[in-house]
Chains A and B, each alone.
Chain A
Amino acid sequence: MDLAVIPRNLHFLLGGLVLTLELAAISLLGGFLLGILMGLGRLSSRKWIYYPATLYVNFFRSLPLILVIFWFYFMVPIIIGRPLGDFLSAIIAFIAFEAAYFAEIVRAGVQSIPQGQVMAGYSTGLGYYETMRNIVLPQALKNMVPPIVTQCVIIFQDTSLAYVIGLKEFLRRIYLVDSRELRSVELYLFAGFVYLVFCSIGTITSRRLEKRQIGR
């Protein structure tokens, strides 16, 4: 064991951690917004909205993330005729992929709201958009918070897959340091530890929120 390898490369590794956090934050925000649209689409009674949304969700949920990343990094540039760059293609892949999972969270959240609430909304003269915006979504969001926090943890872990296209996020930098210093055990234990700390915060938060909701 030679733990000195970590302080020696700490600056380089922290840079990767920042990039990982950036990736996670952007994918989270984008994925969630697209996920709301897709989730509501899955609940729509209009067939031309329902079927495309369902197809989207099921399509992305049956592909491995690594394949989706390949699609946006190698294949989409061929189709559109210009490269997207590693950061942009990773971001698009993450947003497209995570949106499918968020859509299911949103759908379950909205379905947890009793039908009476929607009827009450309509009967006071509100339209679909206003009912959703002012009555259903605020209540549903509260129910959705624990699974959303869990999904944040998953997204944070998933960003490590950007490794495959050479994006220098945390895991890729660990790998680079390892190939120079040949200290696999220390470096991967350290990587695991860092991810563990960040993810545990998320997991504990999610569990707290869940307990508080049951207690309500």
Chain B
Amino acid sequence: MLSYDFDWSVLWKHPYGRWMLEGIWTTITLSSLAFCIAVTVGLMVGVFRVLPNRITRLIGGSYVELIRNTPYLVQLFFWYFGLPSLLPQASEKWLYDHVPSLPYWTGVVCLGVYTASRVGEQIRAGMLSIPTDQYQAAFSTGLTTYQTYRYVIIPYAIRIIIPPFTTEFLTCFKNSALTMTIGVLETTGASYLIDSYTWHGLETTTAASVVYIVITLCVVLLMAWVERRIHIPGMIARGR
């Protein structure tokens, strides 16, 4: 039988409560910053892949294949352990000595670059899913190229892209937990750390799980609401 002495107070006792809160905050900022990078880079990759130019398509395609076909953890280790050692010794030492949040920023950049490959694919799929009739109809009513994109294509594309973007953000959010392997104290890392101080892992891991579930649920509900708000009648509705 369960011979375990539950002590939920480790979740708010000093200093563990602060670690946990800081962990949650780190998870949120890390995944949000990474997702900003992912959208910026992903937009470029996605556009590259649909341009009528063989070289840009090759660049975009190789990026996606390279990133998607290697595990995130390998990429993270390469960025964190591998890349600095390519620098001259003095600057490598400076980097480790003077940038205290090096793991954090490595995590942000690596997660951003990784998620960008997935976001890029979604953007490409979104752009390809807009029927050419839309362009033709817009042009034939006398709109300029800018106006066509501004008033017809983009509003359309945004609505198509929101559901897959929600999924990608949540994947990015969950993947942020892996940065604990290079020493970032995000939610999972913090719960693990408190466990190693107090031997009350069952409580901290439960708390971490609840945090992930609650945040996921909030994002899903929020995005479903957004989708309903901006829904165009006649377009296939999702998330209802």
Q: Which of B55-111 contact A (CB under 8 A)?
A: 65-66, 68-75, 77-78, 81-83, 85-86
B177 at the A interface (CB under 8 A): yes
A14 at the B interface (CB under 8 A): no
Residues of B within 8 A of A70 (CB): 188, 192, 201, 205
Distance of B76 from chain A, by nearest CB (Å): 9
By size class, the interface of chain B is 35 or more
A191 at the B interface (CB under 8 A): yes
CA distance A193 to B159 in the complex (A): 37
Find B178's partner among A66, A78, A184, A188 (CB 8 Å cutoff): A66
A64 touches B82 (CB 8 A): no
A189 at the B interface (CB under 8 A): yes
B205 touches A157 (CB 8 A): no
CA distance A189 to B78 in the complex (A): 7
Find B73's partner among A67, A160, A199 (CB 8 Å cutoff): A160
B180 touches A66 (CB 8 A): yes
A139 at the B interface (CB under 8 A): no
Find A67's partner among B85, B181, B208 (CB 8 Å cutoff): B208
Find B205's partner among A62, A65, A75, A184 (CB 8 Å cutoff): A75
Q: Which of B186-240 contact A (CB under 8 A)?
A: 188, 192, 195, 201-202, 205, 208-209, 212-213, 216-217
CA distance A171 to B178 in the complex (A): 14
Find B217's partner among A62, A81, A184 (CB 8 Å cutoff): A62
Q: Assuming the A-B contacts A161-B178, A192-B74, are A63 and B212 also in contact, with contact meaning beta carbons closer than 8 angstroms in the complex?
A: yes
Residues of A within 8 A of B150 (CB): none
In terms of DSSP, what is the predominant structure of the interface of chain B? Answer: helix
A78 touches B4 (CB 8 A): yes
Distance of B4 from chain A, by nearest CB (Å): 6
Q: Assuming the A-B contacts A161-B73, A195-B74, A203-B68, are A67 and B188 also in contact, with contact meaning beta carbons closer than 8 angstroms in the complex?
A: yes
A78 touches B202 (CB 8 A): yes
By size class, the interface of chain A is 35 or more
Residues of A within 8 A of B195 (CB): 74
A75 touches B213 (CB 8 A): no
Q: Which of A148-190 contact B (CB under 8 A)?
A: 153, 157-158, 160-161, 163-164, 171, 174-175, 178, 184-185, 188-189
Find A158's partner among B69, B71, B177 (CB 8 Å cutoff): B71
A171 touches B82 (CB 8 A): no
What are the 5 closest A-B residue pairs judged by CB atoms, nearest first? A64-B177, A199-B69, A62-B216, A188-B78, A157-B71
Partner-B contacts on A (CB < 8 A):
59, 62-67, 70-71, 74-75, 78-79, 81, 153, 157-158, 160-161, 163-164, 171, 174-175, 178, 184-185, 188-189, 191-192, 195-196, 199-200, 203
10 additional contacts, CB 8 Å, given A174-B77, A185-B86, A199-B70?
A: A63-B212, A64-B178, A67-B209, A71-B209, A78-B2, A79-B202, A184-B82, A185-B78, A191-B77, A195-B71
Q: List 28 A-B contacts (CB under 8 A).
A: A62-B212, A62-B217, A66-B177, A66-B180, A66-B188, A67-B188, A67-B205, A67-B208, A70-B188, A74-B195, A75-B201, A79-B4, A153-B69, A160-B71, A171-B71, A178-B81, A184-B78, A185-B78, A185-B83, A188-B74, A191-B77, A195-B70, A196-B70, A199-B68, A199-B70, A200-B65, A203-B65, A203-B69
